[in-house]
């Protein structure tokens, strides 16, 4: 029985690849430095089942592949060739000869590195040899499942957090100090990076890729990325990466018509076309595509120690009608609009990831009402463990953009989310998508005069940090960037020279610190027992009050939010326990730019019934403010 091809490929691996079950196919396909006998060189392997011939062209043969023709590995659709005498840094592409005689030059789908754009070649790269120093982080991850842990995510586009000059980017190594130290000082638990795979167009932000296994060369080398992640882990910061299995760009050197025929995309153009983005959808029913994508997700965890992935645009994968004109809409075999192959793929993806990495973060960016996104697959769910709460985000931004005088008529926008808060394991996202393309920055969404905008943003952030669900904030939001995100320019760091923005940054830091210290704000994010309304119905005054609990410790915090411009010098609110309540935060505090210069340290309850409780406290509730109080058990009083 033949167990290996002439270049050493395992026939068993190729069989699993064809079946959709080669979970680490990047170890088999692509360009690998190796030794055959006494000769050292590179073994190339590529899947191109419909090509008439495949060659390797590169800087070592004048980009003429006729002298390096690959051999077919049986009937697997894989072509292979060992080329001695070349090694690290070699530039190459695959020269496809199609069945109708055309020649195509394609980048390697499994390339570990790529030329800096505008170059398009793949680069032979050795990923071995890096000595990781994050054992303590990995052990802590295994010991602390994420559901009952704090999660404060700082979302970053590496190409515009800071810039040295036009298209002069900071490297992974430089960011491993500047960015990581900044995030650590502000108290974030995770960094989420916009997609890292190689892409030809800066303004796609990485969401339209050509190199799924190739960290973009804009910011340096693969080893530089390893050092970046390692430094994050040493500072106690997890790393999440946006991942894009829904579609890929149509650039000639990329995956589209890879061997002259639809291969990674489906053969039905109605299914393959993504007209909104000008891209092609993956053919999720094709088993080799499954091997490619699942291996890619695992690759970032295996090789770069990425802690989790946010799967982009899940709704566009599962709905055959998503953003398609009527002439491109199709149905499944039952006449419905669910993409059954995509659904099956997502379930298989999550099952596989959690098999290898039980504590990984698998986060769905899903704008639909698909049920059970974060339910296990054995219960009929898609198998993710977190989902972005797009409903909360849309309702709250709509509410906060209103003039306060209009808010009493829309009170349900800030209260409705609790009706479904426990249907999924939610992350509350204030992401890049909400501060670009004319949507304005979070600060500039707020109505009113300059000072009122800051007051309302402080109020909004306090409600966001107090609401059930993990948290995500896009860069610049922490200091109240006034202009919307400009993806080819750095953040407006100069505004920190103005007091209001400096106050906002300090407020965010304080809010993050408070969140991390108060387990009631995160320990029961996904259990209804962790939340209780005090007063949900005070729409006339646009005031809400509620309790967050840590059911394990019995500790709880009380929140009161005033979304109106009315000052309430003596506002009475019911509390569940007799005793003292320490004031943890008043968003109107003058040291954060508010109007309250005299802030009490706490309040004592009185035996005055209110809001269904036997005891209550009376406090000053400034306009456009949010107060957070912690009950102090008797031993602490």
| Chain centroid offset of residue 279 CA | 21
The DSSP 8-state label assigned to residue 7 in this structure reads: T
The count of other CB atoms within 10 Å of the CB of residue 242 is 23
Cβ atoms 197, 215 nearer than 8 A: yes
CA distances from 347 to 285, 379, 615 (A): 13, 11, 49
Q: What are phi and psi of 126, to 5 degrees?
A: -100, 115
Contact 321, 373 (CB under 8 A): no
**543 membership: H or E segment, kind and range:** strand 543-549
Of the residues 13, 230, 242, 365, which is catalytic? 365
Round to whole Å and give the CA distance between 349 and 327: 30
Return the SS3 of 402.
coil
Q: How far apart are CA 605 and CA 178, in angstroms?
A: 46
Token code pair at residue 47: 């899947």
Q: Which two tokens stand for residue 571?
A: 């506002």
Rounded CA-CA distance 344/280 in Å is 19
Omega cis (within 30) before 421: no
Output the six-digit token pair for 143: 């010991």
Q: How far apart are CA 486 and CA 481, in angstroms?
A: 11
Active-site residue flag, 395: no
The answer to whether 103 and 63 are in contact (CB under 8 A) is no
**Is 312 designated active site?**
yes
DSSP letter string, 220-245: --HHHHHHHHHHHHHTT-EEEEEE--
DSSP 485: P
- Of 13, 312, 341, 588, the catalytic one is 312
d(CA 417, CA 432) in angstroms, rounded, equals: 22
DSSP state for residue 613 in the 8-state scheme: B
Q: Specify whether the CB–CB gap between 234 and 271 falls below 8 A.
A: no
Angle, nearest 10°, between helix axes 287-304 and 340-356? 30
Helix/strand/coil (H/E/C) assignment for every residue in 302-366:
HHHCCCEEEECCHHHHHECCCCCCHHHCCCCCCCCCECHHHHHHHHHHHHHHHHHCCCCEEEECC
What span, in angstroms and rounded, lies between the C-alpha atoms of 113 and 175?
A: 19
DSSP H or E segment with residue 628: strand 625-632
Q: What is the 3-state secondary structure (H, E, C) of 110-158?
A: CCCCECCCCCCCEECCCCCCCCCCCHHHHHHHHHCCHHHCCCEEEEECC
Residue 99 CB: number of other CB atoms within 10 A? 12
3-state secondary structure 489-537: CCCCHHHHHCHHHHHHHHHHHHHHHHHHHCHHHCCCCCCHHHEEEEECC
Spatial CB neighbours of 551, under 8 Å, sequence gap ≥ 6: 523, 524, 527, 529, 530
Catalytic residue numbers, as ranges:
312, 365
């Amino acid at each position: 029985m033949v167990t290996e091809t002439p270049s050493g490929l395992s026939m068993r691996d190729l069989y699993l690849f064809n079946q959709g079950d080669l979970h680490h196919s990047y170890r088999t396909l692509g360009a690998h430095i190796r030794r055959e006998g006494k000769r050292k060189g590179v073994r190339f392997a590529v899947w191109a089942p419909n090509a008439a011939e495949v060659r390797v062209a590169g800087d070592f043969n004048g980009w003429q592949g006729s002298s390096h023709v690959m051999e077919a590995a049986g009937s697997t659709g894989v072509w292979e060739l060992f080329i001695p005498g070349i090694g690290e840094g070699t530039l190459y592409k695959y020269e496809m000869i199609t069945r109708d005689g055309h020649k195509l030059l394609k980048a390697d789908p499994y390339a570990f590195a790529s030329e800096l754009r505008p170059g398009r070649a793949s680069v032979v790269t050795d990923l071995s040899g890096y000595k990781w120093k994050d054992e303590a982080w990995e052990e802590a991850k295994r010991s602390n499942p994420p559901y009952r842990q704090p999660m404060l995510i700082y979302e970053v586009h590496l190409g515009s957090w800071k810039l040295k000059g036009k298209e002069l980017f900071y490297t992974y190594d430089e960011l491993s100090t500047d960015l990581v130290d900044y995030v650590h000082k502000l108290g974030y638990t995770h960094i989420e990076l916009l997609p890292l795979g190689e892409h030809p167009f800066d303004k796609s932000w990485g969401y339209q890729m050509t190199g799924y296994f190739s960290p973009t060369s804009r910011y340096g080398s693969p080893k530089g990325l390893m050092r970046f992640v390692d430094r994050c882990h040493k500072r106690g910061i997890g790393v999440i990466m946006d991942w894009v299995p829904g579609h890929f760009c149509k650039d000639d050197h990329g995956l589209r018509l890879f061997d002259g025929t639809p291969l990674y995309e489906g053969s039905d153009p109605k299914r393959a076309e993504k007209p909104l983005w000008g891209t092609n959808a993956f053919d999720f029913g094709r088993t080799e595509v499954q091997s490619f994508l699942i291996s890619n997700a695992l690759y970032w965890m295996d090789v770069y120690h990425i802690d989790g992935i946010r799967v982009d645009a899940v709704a566009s994968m599962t709905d055959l009608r998503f953003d398609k004109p009527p002439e491109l809409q199709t149905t499944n075999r039952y006449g419905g609009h669910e993409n059954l192959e995509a659904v099956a793929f997502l379930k298989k993806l999550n099952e596989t990831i959690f098999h290898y990495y039980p504590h990984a973060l698998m986060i769905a960016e899903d704008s639909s009402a698909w049920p059970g996104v974060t339910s296990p697959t054995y219960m009929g769910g898609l198998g993710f463990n977190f989902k972005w709460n797009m409903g909360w985000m849309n309702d709250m931004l709509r509410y906060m953009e209103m003039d306060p005088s209009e808010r009493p008529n829309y009170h349900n926008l800030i209260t409705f989310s609790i009706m479904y808060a426990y249907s999924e394991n939610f992350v509350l996202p204030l992401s890049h998508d909400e501060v670009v393309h004319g949507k304005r920055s979070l600060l500039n969404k707020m109505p009113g005069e300059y000072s009122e905008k800051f007051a309302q943003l402080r109020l909004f952030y306090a409600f966001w940090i107090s609401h059930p669900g993990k948290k995500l904030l896009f860069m610049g939001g922490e200091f109240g960037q006034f202009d919307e995100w400009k993806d080819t320019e750095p953040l407006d760091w100069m505004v920190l020279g103005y007091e209001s923005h400096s106050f906002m940054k300090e407020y965010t830091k304080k809010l993050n610190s408070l969140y991390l210290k108060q387990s009631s704000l995160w320990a029961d994010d996904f259990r209804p027992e962790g939340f209780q309304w005090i007063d949900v119905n005070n729409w006339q005054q646009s005031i809400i009050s509620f309790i967050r609990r840590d059911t394990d410790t019995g500790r709880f915090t009380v929140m009161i939010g005033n979304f109106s411009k009315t000052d309430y010098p003596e506002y009475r609110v019911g509390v569940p326990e007799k005793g003292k309540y320490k004031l943890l935060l008043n968003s109107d505090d003058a040291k954060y730019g508010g109007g309250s210069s005299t802030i009490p340290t706490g309040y004592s309850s009185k035996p005055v019934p209110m809001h269904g409780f036997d005891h209550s406290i009376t406090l000053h509730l400034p306009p456009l403010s949010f107060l957070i109080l912690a009950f102090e058990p008797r031993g602490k009083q």
